[in-house]
Amino acid sequence: MTWLITGGAGYIGGHVTQQLVEAGEQVVVLDDLSSGAAERLPAGVPLVVGSTLDRAALDRAIGEHGVTGVLHIAAKKQVGESVTEPLRYYQENVEGLRVVLEAAAAAGVSRVLFSSSAAVYGMPDVELVTEDTPCEPINPYGETKLVGEWLINAAAKAHGLSTVSLRYFNVAGAASPELSDEGVTNLVPMVFERLTAGRAPRVFGADYPTPDGTCVRDFIHVADIASAHVAAVKRLNAATEQVNLTLNIGRGEGVSVQEMLAVIGRVTGYDTTAEVTPRRPGDPARVVASADLIHKELDWTARYEVEAMVASAWDGWCARHPEARRRA
């Protein structure tokens, strides 16, 4: 069996590709390298440079490598950017997925694993978010992920596909410095960037109905994200009947922004006293996963604690910004 991994040279995709190879799976990667890097791929992994909108590239990758399953990670993922560029996000995330499914169905590929997001839930007013919590996304990015799940489910019914959709919560960390997140759109690298520049980290609102007034999130190590994909691939490979699952990937534990800043301070040695700024529109007070269903269905549980996430992310940041460690 061979799996096509779209976006497999990106931050999350690189970790997934590495762990699948280590698990003995045959893989081929399709990536347009707009945010990915060929250097992230393990030696010997074939790379087809192309977009998910490029049917010819998809057909070539599937046909030449005997693909039997598709793991679709490639997507645009910046919430703020999705608000200002919704047409681009729908084109890349929804139309891109449609083309991938079309190519898969035409080639008789029967297994699809989809990278979704907790953004599909919007602002849930619950202690723990289960897979049955109503989906009410509040930005175009979350909308595209929810539409993607609908599209996956419709294709499964029409073409007899076995599918798993994995809803990521807040990803952090790195398995190794060379696989670390090069972007600065997530909380941890955003704080690193400001500390390295000699500026205080920013907290967007400290008056939420939470124990310390800052937002509470479920942070998950990217290596745990990758291991969940491996578990899902193995479930799909072993299936003798049609499988259709939608699962959260989280730790089931809430960490506030203020608590995360304290961890970052301990790991880096910097003063992480924050500058409090007004709330960002649409930020829910608390979003924490229930991880019971993924444990039941895939026998998967997150392994890494928050300190390990931050320490691994800091190692990756300092590998690219050596001056950061010297300033601490």
| Catalytic positions | 141
Residue type, 196: T
SS (H, E, C) 42-101: CCCCCEEECCCCCHHHHHHHHHHCCCCEEEECCCCCCHHHHHHCHHHHHHHHHHHHHHHH
Phi-psi category of 66—alpha, beta or left, where left has phi over 0 and alpha has psi -120 to 50? Answer: left
By CB neighbour count within 10 A (0-12 exposed, 13-18 middle, 19+ buried), where does 320 fall? exposed
User: N- to C-terminal Cα distance for the chain?
Assistant: 48
Cα gap 72→109, rounded to integer Å = 13
> In Å, how far are 19, 127, 188, 222, 305 from 227, measured between CA atoms?
7, 25, 21, 9, 15
